[in-house]
Amino acid sequence: MNRIIFCGTVVILLLFANSVSAADWKAGVAKVKITPEENMWLAGYAARTRASEGVLLDLWAKALVLEDAEGNRGVLVTADLLGFPKQLSDSIRKQLHEKLGWNKAQIILNASHTHSGPVLIRSDLLEMYQPFSEQEKEKLARYAHLLERQIVDMVVEASQSLEPVILEAANGIARFQVNRRNNTEGKLTPLTELKGPNDYSVPVLKATNASGQIKAIVFGYACHPTTLSIYLWSGDYPGFAQAELEKYYPEAVAMFFQGAGGDMNPLPRHTIPLARQYGITLAAAVDRTLQEKMKTLPPALKFAFKEVMLPLDTFSADDLTKIIQSTSQPEFHKRCAKALLNRYKDGEPPFRSYPYSVQIWNIGGLPLFIFGGELTVGYAVHLKQKYGENIFVLGYTNDEKGYIPTLTILKEGGYEGASSQMEYGLPGIWSQDIETIIYEAVEELTKQTGISSPAAP
């Protein structure tokens, strides 16, 4: 009886190996710990008054390199960071071009947007935080230099460890995100109805090798990692989710990408048990999806990238002066306004548009819509209505330059629509043709990558 079971197992493994070989996908993964070795300033909250005090969860950067049947390659990098400032992502992509010959379309640099990761010296958010000492600036510079080298080396390592895999994709669901513009955090408990828009989907991509082991688990969610505001390093709920999945699947690298979570918060929040709860909830949604039927993706990878110029309705010197003199503005807004005004006084004219990153991958018929900045959820809702519910939407990729509001949010104003823009060094508010410009770029890139609306002929 045992011999029969053994022989049957061998046959199954051989059949699986042949199916992987026939699939012609190859994948390589790598990961590197990026937890700062020194106590440093944490990113994300202007209210913090001191440097970090220890580690709750280590921070990680992870890479998945894919190669299709034609030898086309691309890499997805995920990291427990607030964001990838444009200077940093441009430098990483330049080095990967020099080392591997890849262009920007082939490289995705996605940050989880944890508010318990390190401040990056090249970030446009520096003015938001309390003034740094020279010693603190030196720490930030050392860390940024090391981080850049670690990420480049990690991608090269992943590119050198390719092996045959089967790629599968599906969407799960989790419901702890809350639209923070439409629901008041302090009144959450008595609410019987949460108001939207929302995107509860949990997109999942699985790579399984010839031995039947899951090599990579890529998953996303559209929600700010702002459960925690303490002084300990952590990936917040995405960090707990990744750690949990790597317990379930010890041979796999679990990678979290941030979606269109610009106006989404995990609520309630502010405790470690809540962050752990949301992480376990998300991991359970991913695990359930992995164990159910997923769509097998044929080995074809197409990619396209474009930077579009988003116009700004710029602040005047008088506008900035009023903000600085206001008694109702928070101090960090005044610091940001003062920094912009000083640039004006130094003869630096305010830029009136900004190069915004739009990127699309087509992984065997699975569309990935990839955007820079703090993408708000309305973009995911619109794209899913047009291109189908099973697409993946990524925000917080390649650049961290401000919130990307829908036209509705822009007209309403508020934090995501107006008042946050100075934090990112933007000398104004996005103009009201923002959606039109972004969707025109999407339309152009979908044609280049062979993606069409299911309703299209």
pLDDT, tens only, 88-146? 999 999 999 999 999 999 999 999 999 999 999 877 777 788 788 889 999 999 999 99
Burial class, 89, CB count within 10 angstroms (exposed 0-12 / middle 13-18 / buried 19+)? buried
Range of the domain at 109: 24-187+194-301
| 3-state SS record for 116-180 | CCECCCCCCCHHHCCCCCHHHHHHHHHHHHHHHHHHHHHHHHHHCCCEEEEEEEEEEECCCEEEC
Nearest to 221 by CA among 372, 100, 380: 380
Amino acid letter for position 46: A
Residue 200 pLDDT: 97
Whether 368 maps to a domain, the answer reads no
Whether 447 maps to a domain, the answer reads no
Whether 14 maps to a domain, the answer reads no
Q: Region 408-418: what's the mean pLDDT?
A: 93
Residue 335 pLDDT: 87
Residue 20 pLDDT: 45
Q: Is pLDDT at 21 greater than 50 in this prediction? A: no
How many helices (H) and strands (E) would you count in the chain?
Answer: 11, 18
Q: Is pLDDT at 2 greater than 70 in this prediction? A: no
Instruction: Identify the band that residue 266 occupies on the pLDDT scale cut at 50, 70 and 90.
Output: very high
Helix 317-325 crosses helix 331-345 at what angle (to 10 degrees)? 150
Instruction: Identify the band that residue 398 occupies on the pLDDT scale cut at 50, 70 and 90.
Output: very high
36-45, 60-69, 190-199, 424-433: the lowest-pLDDT one: 190-199
Residue 425 pLDDT: 86
Greater confidence, 423 or 429? 429
* Strand arrangement, sheet containing 301-314: 392-394, 366-371, 353-363, 301-314, 428-430
Percent of residues, the chain, with pLDDT higher than 90: 77
Q: Region 300-306: what's the mean pLDDT?
A: 98
CA 415 to chain centre: 20
Whether 98 maps to a domain, the answer reads yes
Whether 137 maps to a domain, the answer reads yes
Residue 250: cis peptide before it, omega within 30 degrees of 0: no
Whether 387 maps to a domain, the answer reads no
Q: Are 371 and 257 in contact (CB under 8 A)?
A: no
Grouping H, G, I as helix, E, B as strand and the rest as coil, residue 117 is coil
Instruction: Identify the band that residue 455 occupies on the pLDDT scale cut at 50, 70 and 90.
Output: low
Greater confidence, 213 or 194? 213
Strand partners, 429: 313
Whole-model pTM over 0.85: yes
- pLDDT per residue over 318-349, tens digit each? 989 998 998 888 888 888 888 888 888 888 88
Whether 453 maps to a domain, the answer reads no
Whether 422 maps to a domain, the answer reads no
Number of domains in the chain: 1
- pLDDT per residue over 353-371, tens digit each? 999 999 999 999 999 999 9
Residue 423 pLDDT: 86
Tokens standing for 410?
A: 């822009």
